[in-house]
Copies of this chain bind each other. A is one copy, B any other.
Amino acid sequence: MYTATVDTQERLIESTRELLWERGYVATSPKAIQQRAGAGQGSMYHHFAGKRELALAAIRRTAEQLRAAADAELSAPGTAAQRITGYLRRDREVQKGCPIGRLTQDPDVMADPLLREPVEQTFAWLRTRLAEVLAAGRDAGEFDPGLDPRATAAVVVAVLQGGYVVARAADRDDPFDQAVTGVLALLTRPTT
């Protein structure tokens, strides 16, 4: 059985994903979700137990997509340096920031184990995956032989997340771009 258009449940999840990205969990009301989804009060509470359940579905989907997108870059053909560069330089909505990273600042999300879990897992996976790529690059002679894959993976993730913060503070994208450029320069400059 197929529906002709995107159904209400689907629109509710997508609206929630957008609002969580734009405003966060605490600042997002059920009413705002309903309006954006074009759904009524009763409709929303028919499909979901409440704001929390909706957020859970939204966060899980966003985490899944983020991971798939990152893995596409990091598992692409090319050298380790090329893959890391591709990942860092990918087109991003810098002013909107990271839809998962921003949840980290939401006290009600972090206080809820179920809402928190996808956030935690996403970053754990990302650091591990980056460390693998960095280790491969080091072993292939692309980077400094003394490079610590895990520490450097933490740097790469932090530069992205922090780049968003600084860019938002400046109300411009270029601090983000500078940070990305800067870390790539540090990473790939010629080895002794």
Q: Which residue of B lies closest to A155 (CB)?
A: B182
Chain B CB within 8 A of A23 CB: yes
User: Are the CB atoms of A157 and B151 closer together than 8 Å?
Assistant: no
The interface size bin for chain A is 35 or more
17 CB contacts below 8 A, A to B, read A24-B105, A26-B27, A101-B165, A104-B165, A146-B185, A150-B178, A151-B179, A153-B182, A154-B166, A154-B175, A155-B179, A155-B183, A157-B166, A158-B158, A158-B163, A161-B166, A192-B192
CB distance from A52 to the nearest CB of B (A): 15
With known contacts A148-B182, A161-B161, A169–B107 Cβ distance under 8 A = no
One digit per residue, 1 when the CB lies within 8 angstroms of any chain B CB and 0 when it does not, for chain A 122-139 equals: 111001000000000000
Question: DSSP class of A's interface residues: helix, strand, loop or mixed?
Answer: helix
Docked pose: A158 CA to B189 CA in angstroms:
20
Which residues of chain A have a CB within 8 Å of any CB of chain B? 22-24, 26-27, 97, 100-102, 104-108, 110, 119-120, 122-124, 127, 144, 146-148, 150-155, 157-163, 165-166, 168-171, 175-176, 178-179, 181-183, 185-187, 189-192
